[in-house]
Structure 1
Amino acid sequence: MSTVQTTPEAPVAQAPVEQQGRMSHRQVLEALSGMLLAMFVAFLSSTVVSNALPTIITELRGTQNQYTWVVTSTLLASTASTPIWGKLADLFSKKLLIQLSIVIFIVGSMLAGLAQSVDTLIAWRVLQGLGLGGLQALVQIAMAAMISPRERGRYSGLLGAVMAVATVGGPLLGGLLVDTSWLGWRWCFYVGVPFAAVALVLLQRTLHLPVTKRDVTIDYLGAAFLTAAVSALLIWVTLAGSSFDWASVETALFLGGAVLATVAFLVTEMRAAEPIVPLRLFRDRTTTLAIVASMAVGVAMFGSTVFLGQYLQISRGFSPTEAGLLTIPMVGGLLISSTVSGLLITRFGRWKIFLTTGTVLVLGGFALLSGVDHETNMVLLCSFLFVLGLGIGMSMQNLVLAVQNTVAATDLGAASSAVAFFRSLGGTIGVSVLGAVLSNHVGSLIRDGLTRIPGAAEAAAAGGGSVGLADLADAPAPIQDLIRVSYGDATGRIFLVSAIVSVIAVLAVVFIREVALRTETGNEREAAERSDAVRIDTDAIEGRDADGERTGEVSPAGAAR
């Protein structure tokens, strides 16, 4: 019998961080520093502009529809690009993609600050939105790769804190910039640029993630059909009722185009080697219901809070700075609930109770806000906003966590971006629909009010037949008062619609099946899945069953050996 000579194995050096599946707490915090700053830039760019929009639109003589489009254009671009960024994250370096999205955001911000008309501003806000879509999707994906679902709660609290600081700091900063004569509203777009530049440097120094080297195929056709479907739907929602009737040829063309593009997208995804949105994700009940809930939360949250600054400034007469201060209760609720719920989820491993409580609080907050008008007590308003903030803080991040905990590691990017996509899609639809609801109701209230002001109706008819936000700066005092009262009394209706939509989120979360949180990071899970795939292929070739026993059946590949 021959003997096999064995030699002692040389000690294996520890792999660098870039090749390890798990990172230490310190390494995670270092890597998060750049990503959290990038997320801060993303949230800051939204909140700082939303509070300055009344001044921007008034100075540039814009309309209520254009007010809506300044917000919608960014949401549309980020929505359409989110699943594309997510799929690219499954194929290329996540670090490089985050840096690319930051560069796109910086360019879009600088150009938006130079805009001389509302139409030009909207165009550059689209470019800004492309960068924001990448930041929103990729930071969540990178966190999933580094941190296990069980441990992610403690770090999600940091993300919630960053969101809170940006949300409260944005309106305050935007108000100060608008109220400072030697700066002005254009600095609302410039102010995020230095933060983004610092984030680029931090990411280069601290973020180290494995890069999977494999042949890739990008589903360009699917991306084009997805963008076309979303764009057609949202343009129709925004323009119907103002530029053309709801029941019209234009409506038929937009809806028909959206349906055709959606069908083409679904067919393409079923045949694509690397689909932008893998349809297999929707076979899982948790993923599907979480996506439905995210979309409903997006409709309610984005669609209503966008108009909160308009209500406080136009109807209640607060300055941009004061309007920013009045949003602190909502942000405080968000900060408290996101941080506390994240820590409790990490400690106990239970997450559904927080999702259910959060969506119920969102519903309750909007129900309370549905009664606001131009005379609502501000203490009551702030308490209602606090309830809403508590609900949003418990809902947003934990919906992403539920999905990331369920899907395969190789689908983390696509699944995370799918949640972000549908939340942004809901937000974009919400801004468009609620903007149309607000515009129509304000118009109705103004028309009714003009009949009670002597000579006002005749003056409006002579000036073009309508009175609205564009006339606020130049209208006589009685008509300015009418416009302010009309906006205040109409705002409660958009909160009522948001409350109705929130019911969908509550029902979806109730039927989600709670799955125990995993303790492996995304990198560890992906390595294990690859190992299992290799073992299964090897067993199939050699004719072994699941337990490793010979079955007597050898595949052709095994016979060839």
Structure 2
Amino acid sequence: MSAQPAAPSAAEPMTQRQILEALSGLLLVLFVAMISGTVVSVALPQIIGALNGSQSQYTWVVTASLLASTASTPIWGKLADLFNKKLLLQIAIVIFMVSSLACGFAQNTGQLIAFRALQGLGMGALQILAQVVIAAMISPKERGRYNGYLGAVMAVATVGGPLLGGFIADTSWLGWRWCFFIAVPFTVAAFALLAKTLHLPTVRRTDVSIDYWGAALIAAGVSVLLIWVTFVGNSFDWLSWQTAAMVGGGVVLLALAALVESRVREPVVPLHVVRRRDPALAILASLAVGMAMFGGAVFLGQYFQIGRGYGPTAAGLLTIPMMVGVLFSSTISGRMVSRSGQTKPYILVGLVVLLAGFAGLSTIDHQTSLVLVSLYMLAVGVGVGMSMQNLVLVIQNTVPLREIGAASGAITFFRSLGGTVGVSVLGAILANRVATSISEGLAKAGIPVTGSQAGRSLNIAALPEPIKGIVRAAYGDATGHIFLVSAGIGVVGLIAAAFLRPATLRDSLDLPEPAGEAAEQEVAGKA
């Protein structure tokens, strides 16, 4: 009897003070997840060089964490609908902390790739669970204002991360391993802060059903296709039995995943949500944003260090324009969305600016003015900041509170999938283009070394001076080609956003129950 009065109080809206107290821990969680990627990104050329890794391994150090994060995101989102959200967050923090330590102690690129995959499990959980908890506390319309804080924290992490990573990599008494160790104190602080500030009702359900088969099939299908993208054109031809086996196998696995998702009681990717027009269009647009977010961070750092010859700290400073664009555009557009209740105009403007930034970056080479490169990066940052969180709001506005975890997990899954595929595809394009350019450069210089041998290792400092210049020019010139592909995908995202229906964000936490559905339930109960 005593439990009955608790339900209304649990449903009461939280005060702004309570929300901000809880947000402090959630924002630190997001900061931890974001900074782990940005600290490493600018130091990655030096890390792979120190471990004598190749361009393919460089790509897979990033892809491994993105793939694990992508595949696990829907599961974490579904678990958040079934279990205690606070406990799940704390478990994710522990996973992330242990894997970060393991990455710091890696002795070769194989170990680093494996530990980064484990770290991706924690990263995916932290990012989606923070969004789910915020959605459970704040209505969609008010969420735009708080998403501004979210965007600001993410921008601080993305601006400060490269600078911190560059400083660590350039400091002899620290070394690149501290790019991973640095996350540990943040995770400890986040764990303690959440224990004190986050208080959510505990969900206790006996009819728990988790779609492990669907999640496994999705992960396997995506993994097979990404492995194919990495090796096609180098290890085997585009038209070969390996291509047929990998592409055919990946498509079959994903088709089986779709079949499983359509039949299970609790799918990790709710097809009834993603089949609707607006969520489907928002997901398609998110693929483009995902490619912008991950592709830009990964390959621009490499461009500045290998293609232009700057050190890690300088490379971090040179990426600031993109992060500044994210910071200001996400904060300002978030407040304007809360004021107007409209998301589509900001998403459209953001994607147009994003496309313009990609188009500009597609023209760069190893001699392009840094002023122009900075302007193009600023445009990409503004586009990401205006569109990323607002696309999440589009989906969250269309589903009831009981499905907010699965719906948020779905759009985060597809956005991360876009980033994962983007990094793999762009990395493969970059590797092939670089190999061709190095071969041509060596032939012109009369140096009897094949392009694959010269460009196999990213330890540029160990190369002879004439070869070093050829390799730098090859990377600088090839970077523009990968952003031309990004611009093409940006066009698809813009077209998808243009067909979104104009909608006003709701003020309530939950959707009102349809009258027809309530009547059907009443009739069913009497029967």
Q: Which TM class, normalised by the smaller chain length?
A: over 0.9
Alignment of 1:148-297 (within 5 A): 148-214=139-205, 215-297=207-289
Q: Which residue pairs with 1:115 in the alignment?
A: 106
Q: Identify which range, 377-386 or 391-400, moves more after superposition.
A: 377-386
Partners of 2:255 and 2:470 in 1: CA distance:
47
Q: Which residue pairs with 1:7 in the alignment?
A: none
Query: Judging changes above 3 Å, is the alpha-carbon distance between structure 1 residues 472 and 357 closer, same or farther for their aligned structure 2 residues?
Result: same
How far has the Cα of 1:336 moved from its partner? Answer: 0.7
Matched residue count: 525
Query: Judging changes above 3 Å, is the alpha-carbon distance between structure 1 residues 322 and 466 closer, same or farther for their aligned structure 2 residues?
Result: closer
How far has the Cα of 1:172 moved from its partner? Answer: 0.3
How far has the Cα of 1:283 moved from its partner? Answer: 3.0
Letter paired with 2:486: S
Query: Judging changes above 3 Å, is the alpha-carbon distance between structure 1 residues 464 and 226 closer, same or farther for their aligned structure 2 residues?
Result: closer
1:330 correspondence with 2:322:
yes
Query: Judging changes above 3 Å, is the alpha-carbon distance between structure 1 residues 15 and 64 closer, same or farther for their aligned structure 2 residues?
Result: same
Query: Judging changes above 3 Å, is the alpha-carbon distance between structure 1 residues 305 and 467 closer, same or farther for their aligned structure 2 residues?
Result: same
Alpha-carbon contact 1:304-1:494 (below 8 Å) kept: no
How far has the Cα of 1:282 moved from its partner? Answer: 2.4
1:467 correspondence with 2:455:
yes
Query: Judging changes above 3 Å, is the alpha-carbon distance between structure 1 residues 381 and 41 closer, same or farther for their aligned structure 2 residues?
Result: same
Query: Judging changes above 3 Å, is the alpha-carbon distance between structure 1 residues 162 and 465 closer, same or farther for their aligned structure 2 residues?
Result: closer
Deviations 1:294-313 (A, max 9, x none): 01221233123311011101
Alignment of 1:410-559 (within 5 A): 410-454=402-446, 456=447, 458=448, 460-461=449-450, 465-470=453-458, 472-522=460-510, 525=511, 529=513, 536-542=520-526, 555=527
Partners of 2:509 and 2:226 in 1: CA distance:
37
Q: Which residue pairs with 1:146 in the alignment?
A: 137
Q: Identify which range, 218-227 or 487-496, moves more after superposition.
A: 218-227
Partners of 1:417 and 1:12 in 2: CA distance:
31
How far has the Cα of 1:529 moved from its partner? Answer: 4.5
Letter paired with 1:348: S
How far has the Cα of 1:251 moved from its partner? Answer: 1.6
Letter paired with 1:504: V
Q: Which residue pairs with 1:352 in the alignment?
A: 344
Deviations 1:54-84 (A, max 9, x none): 1011111110000000000000000000111
Letter paired with 1:306: V
Cα RMSD between the aligned structures? 2.1
Query: Judging changes above 3 Å, is the alpha-carbon distance between structure 1 residues 351 and 485 closer, same or farther for their aligned structure 2 residues?
Result: same
How far has the Cα of 1:409 moved from its partner? Answer: 2.1
Alignment of 1:349-428 (within 5 A): 349-428=341-420
Q: Which residue pairs with 1:549 in the alignment?
A: none
Deviations 1:438-459 (A, max 9, x none): 11111111111111213x1x2x
Partners of 1:18 and 1:196 in 2: CA distance:
31
Query: Judging changes above 3 Å, is the alpha-carbon distance between structure 1 residues 18 and 193 closer, same or farther for their aligned structure 2 residues?
Result: farther
The runs of 5 or more residues in structure 2 that have no matched partner are none
Q: Secondary structure at the match of 1:508?
A: helix
Partners of 1:360 and 1:46 in 2: CA distance:
26
Partners of 1:75 and 1:474 in 2: CA distance:
30
Alpha-carbon contact 1:304-1:431 (below 8 Å) kept: no
Alpha-carbon contact 2:363-2:480 (below 8 Å) kept: yes
Q: Identify which range, 17-26 or 35-44, moves more after superposition.
A: 17-26
Partners of 1:359 and 1:367 in 2: CA distance:
12
Letter paired with 1:404: Q
Q: Where does structure 1 differ by over 6 angstroms across 4 or more consecutive aligned residues?
A: 11-14, 530-535
Deviations 1:239-290 (A, max 9, x none): 2222322222222221122122112112211221111112111231110000
Alpha-carbon contact 1:304-1:430 (below 8 Å) kept: no
Alpha-carbon contact 1:221-1:268 (below 8 Å) kept: yes
Partners of 2:98 and 2:462 in 1: CA distance:
35
How far has the Cα of 1:516 moved from its partner? Answer: 1.4
How far has the Cα of 1:535 moved from its partner? Answer: 6.6
Partners of 1:127 and 1:12 in 2: CA distance:
40
Deviations 1:195-228 (A, max 9, x none): 0111111111111222332221111111211111
Residue from 69, 79, 84 that aligns with 2:70: 79
- Sequence identity, in percent? 56
Q: Which residue pairs with 1:341 in the alignment?
A: 333
Deviations 1:497-544 (A, max 9, x none): 11111001100000001221110124xx4xx649997775334444xx
How far has the Cα of 1:28 moved from its partner? Answer: 0.6
Q: Which residue pairs with 1:548 in the alignment?
A: none
How far has the Cα of 1:469 moved from its partner? Answer: 4.0
| TM-score scaled by length of structure 2 | 0.96
How far has the Cα of 1:329 moved from its partner? Answer: 1.1
Residue from 85, 98, 106 that aligns with 1:94: 85
Letter paired with 1:491: T
Partners of 2:493 and 2:177 in 1: CA distance:
37
Partners of 2:10 and 2:328 in 1: CA distance:
36
How far has the Cα of 1:232 moved from its partner? Answer: 1.2
Partners of 2:88 and 2:414 in 1: CA distance:
21
Alpha-carbon contact 1:21-1:521 (below 8 Å) kept: no
Partners of 2:515 and 2:215 in 1: CA distance:
31
| TM-score scaled by length of structure 1 | 0.90
Q: Secondary structure at the match of 1:451?
A: helix
Q: Identify which range, 296-305 or 101-110, moves more after superposition.
A: 296-305
Alpha-carbon contact 1:150-1:346 (below 8 Å) kept: yes
Partners of 2:483 and 2:21 in 1: CA distance:
40
Q: Secondary structure at the match of 1:514?
A: coil
Residue from 29, 34, 37 that aligns with 1:43: 34
